[in-house]
Amino acid sequence: MRSLRGYVFWVVVGFLLASGPVTAQHYLLPSGKDHTDRIRFELINNLVIIPMEVNGASLNFILDSGVSKPILFNLTGQDSIELREVSPITIRGLGDGEPVEALRSLGNTFSVQSLKNLSQELYVVLDKEMNFSSSLGIPVHGIIGYDLFRDYVVEINYSRQFLRFHNPETYTRKIRRDEVTLPLTLAENKAYLHGSVVVNNEDEIPVKLLMDTGSSDALWLFPDAEKGLTVPDKHYEDYLGKGLSGTIFGKRTKIQQVRLGDFVLQDAKAAFPQMESFRLATNLGDRNGSAGGELLKRFNMIVDYPGHRITLSKNALFNKPFQFNLAGIELEHAGIRYIAERIADSNGFVQSDDNSFSSVQIMVGSQTRLSLVPEIVVSAIRAGSPAEEVGLRTGDVILAVNGKPVHRYKLQEVMEMINSKKGRSIRVLIERYNQDLLFSFVVRDLFEE
């Protein structure tokens, strides 16, 4: 892996330590209402991004069931946001670094649609590197989890991309034949699923997994030779993400099977993280890993913390193949650039362009448009990957993939274009030191070498 300095990934941010008393805080529905209306969310790289208001400011949060208290980490571009009862604090999280300095704030007003909390505790991380926006392609200002899940039955519809919060005292629904209800273990403000895995073509191994909607990955497993959780022979070293306390590395692989109740997922993407990243975690107990967004998004879920249970029904994403970074290249937004485009054909007719994601446009004459667009750059390259072998470098500006200008596409769509099915030839046009260069490589299966 080349230099990862300044590169932020969005896997798991574990909140593990906070000093001081915890204030009473609850989200309340308006009088006479038993549930919210549908709350639309964006599903980006397997993460649920929800709009919220914090003290009147509109912000975007990752819905992260693995985090205890809300954390703000990117307030760049906000005109103003009021934080109440602020005091300095040290917090810890996953990673190989040291605890980070932050601010603790009490008595804040949080709202999501009709659900409101008038006394929300939150933490502000001051490290500028904790910024997911460049990697997700939209502004993201923080993460929120347990406090939203604690008092309500939470309906998460991944396929239609909406949330709904229900009062558990009045919530009823018809039981469907194609769903399964599983026990949900709650400990220290976190929820755990119970399932099983098949690794190395052996018997099913029961596992206890943290339910982690704030991880874009599929499955993390903790190495345990006695239990049979050993890394398969076919694997590669990979950068798994960044927590509050530093980077997380591990071994990326594929396992035969994951089972949750009656639902079985074959050829599942998995990673075995280096356990040094969990050195600050004192509460792992009998936990065997984490179930993240790439696995969870295959189900529509009814998450019932008050009732200690979760109901799963598979959706249209259930049979989608797990996505691996076959090319070995990571991208992020970094800066902006002007693009000149001809908007009339050879006969002088103006062409429609509904796919433009430009925020600023300037007309030059009657047939040319200058558009201010985000610049997409290579943020990391995996050692030994097809991208590295042909000479792509960190910092290269991506201009086009297979002849398609990337400014017409969202960041995650560009990633999908580069990591298309194995055996396909990929042509990447880049800019390096004011020169345009074309690189070609073939995407190959990482586990057939």
Tens of pLDDT, residues 186-241: 998 999 999 999 998 889 999 999 999 999 999 999 999 999 999 999 998 888 87
234 neighbors 201 (Cβ within 8 angstroms): no
Helix (H, G, I), strand (E, B) or coil at 167: coil
> 161 or 176: which carries more pLDDT confidence?
161
**Backbone phi, psi, residue 201, to 5°:** 60, 30
Q: How far apart are CA 449 and CA 431, in angstroms?
A: 31
Distance of alpha carbon 67 from the chain centroid: 13
Tell me what pLDDT residue 13 has.
36
Q: Kindly tell me if the per-residue pLDDT of 277 is higher than 70.
A: no
pTM (two decimals): 0.83
Strand (E) or helix (H) holding 149: helix 146-149
State the chain's mean pLDDT as an integer.
83
242 neighbors 248 (Cβ within 8 angstroms): yes
Position 36 in a domain: no
Segments forming the whole domain that contains residue 214:
179-314
Position 423 in a domain: yes
Which residue has 């904790």 as its token pair?
130
Q: Number of folded domains in the chain?
A: 2
| Mean pLDDT across 132-142 | 82
Q: Do 187 and 308 share a domain, yes or no?
A: yes
Tell me what pLDDT residue 175 has.
82
Position 359 in a domain: yes
Q: Do 345 and 437 share a domain, yes or no?
A: yes
pLDDT range class, residue 444, cuts 50, 70, 90: confident
Q: Kindly tell me if the per-residue pLDDT of 173 is higher than 90.
A: no
Tell me what pLDDT residue 73 has.
82
Joined together, the tokens standing for residue 64 give 């992260």
Q: Do 334 and 307 share a domain, yes or no?
A: no
Position 449 in a domain: no
Q: Do 433 and 350 share a domain, yes or no?
A: yes
Domain-terminating residue out of 267, 286, 314: 314
23 neighbors 107 (Cβ within 8 angstroms): yes
| Mean pLDDT across 17-34 | 69
Which residue has 């018809």 as its token pair?
174
Q: Do 226 and 298 share a domain, yes or no?
A: yes
Least confident segment among 97-101, 266-270, 339-343, 383-387: 339-343
Q: Do 193 and 295 share a domain, yes or no?
A: yes
Q: Do 348 and 298 share a domain, yes or no?
A: no
Which residue has 């065997």 as its token pair?
288
Tell me what pLDDT residue 267 has.
92
Position 49 in a domain: no
| Mean pLDDT across 1-22 | 35
Tell me what pLDDT residue 348 has.
47
Joined together, the tokens standing for residue 33 give 């209402």
Position 448 in a domain: no
Q: Kindly tell me if the per-residue pLDDT of 280 is higher than 60.
A: no
Q: Do 294 and 340 share a domain, yes or no?
A: no
Q: Do 308 and 350 share a domain, yes or no?
A: no
Q: How far apart are CA 132 and CA 215, in angstroms?
A: 12
Q: Do 417 and 306 share a domain, yes or no?
A: no
Joined together, the tokens standing for residue 269 give 């993407």
Domain-terminating residue out of 274, 289, 314: 314
Joined together, the tokens standing for residue 289 give 């890993």
Tell me what pLDDT residue 202 has.
81
Tell me what pLDDT residue 181 has.
95
358-360-363 Cα angle (round to 5)? 105
Position 230 in a domain: yes
Q: Do 357 and 427 share a domain, yes or no?
A: yes
89 neighbors 102 (Cβ within 8 angstroms): yes
Domain-terminating residue out of 256, 283, 314: 314
Q: Kindly tell me if the per-residue pLDDT of 345 is higher than 60.
A: no
Q: Do 273 and 341 share a domain, yes or no?
A: no
418 neighbors 325 (Cβ within 8 angstroms): no
